[in-house]
Structure 1
């Protein structure tokens, strides 16, 4: 299956409209619509769409500079936030594949970045397992998220 990551553009709005995110998912993440609105107001937030063939399956935001501060002191880190997979596409390996494609995407578009960081909700055991499987390491720190405590995880990008 051919998968690719791309930066959001306004021409993608029709795909965002069809993206399904459930109330259960919204306990742990923001919707793509809400995240895109925030990205339009903050040049350091980059909305990323993940496609399997031509179908939008996963969405997340890469946040530079100030967005990273609560999670890392590394000025060359990038925060992954608002990570979700379309409800109808869950369980098909798309989230894992997206995370595996991410280091190369970051090296291409953000060559100065040497670390990815994220915060995962303490009750979200399945997401923690996914991130661990994809090489993220629990930093042993927690920060307060918009709903509950977040476990900080990081991934070193090889140079």
Structure 2
């Protein structure tokens, strides 16, 4: 889903929050944080938030923007979503370029696979703080 399509959904759903990453005046990375029912297919943790539609402008890939955004995200979430304790994302299994990036940024693969639109999705989590059991 494109950033433009994602923003249209954000306008209609109060549980979706668009995050735009700029380098000076240029949009370089985009994603949506989706609360509540958005995370349900990927996690049973009610205090988790889903990162969806994560994309970096094709001409800006390989410059570290995605990595920087992911590294800044836990503190951003703690500040703006204080009840959240887990970040969840789904990455298409064939997307072998993104998976090591997510691991380097602290996301863990616990072996969970979900169905995507066209391919299976590997579910990965980043634990901001200990989950209360």
Query: 2:127 maps to what in 1?
Result: 156
Match of 2:72 among 89, 92, 101: 101
Which residue of the other structure, out of 96, 99, 115, is the alignment partner of 1:125? 96
Instruction: Give the TM-score, by structure 2 length.
Output: 0.95
Which aligned pairs between 1:58-137 and structure 2 lie closer than 5 A?
Answer: 58-137=29-108
1:46-104, CA deviations, whole angstroms, 9 ceiling, x for partnerless residues?
11101123321000000000000000000000000000001111110000000001001
Distance 1:150 1:62 in 2: 17
CA distance in 1, matches of 2:31, 2:116: 16
Q: Distance in 2 between matches of 1:34 and 1:147?
A: 18
Is 2:16 the partner of 1:39? no
Pairing of 1:138-153 with structure 2 (within 5 A): 138-153=109-124
How large is the Cα RMSD of the aligned pairs?
A: 1.0
Residue-pair matches, total: 130
- The structure carrying a bigger helix percent of its residues is 1
Structure 1 Cα separation of the partners of residues 113 and 50 of structure 2: 15
Shift of 1:146: 1.5
Equivalents in 2 of 1:139, 1:42: separation in Å? 29
Structure 1 unmatched ranges of 5 or more: 1-29
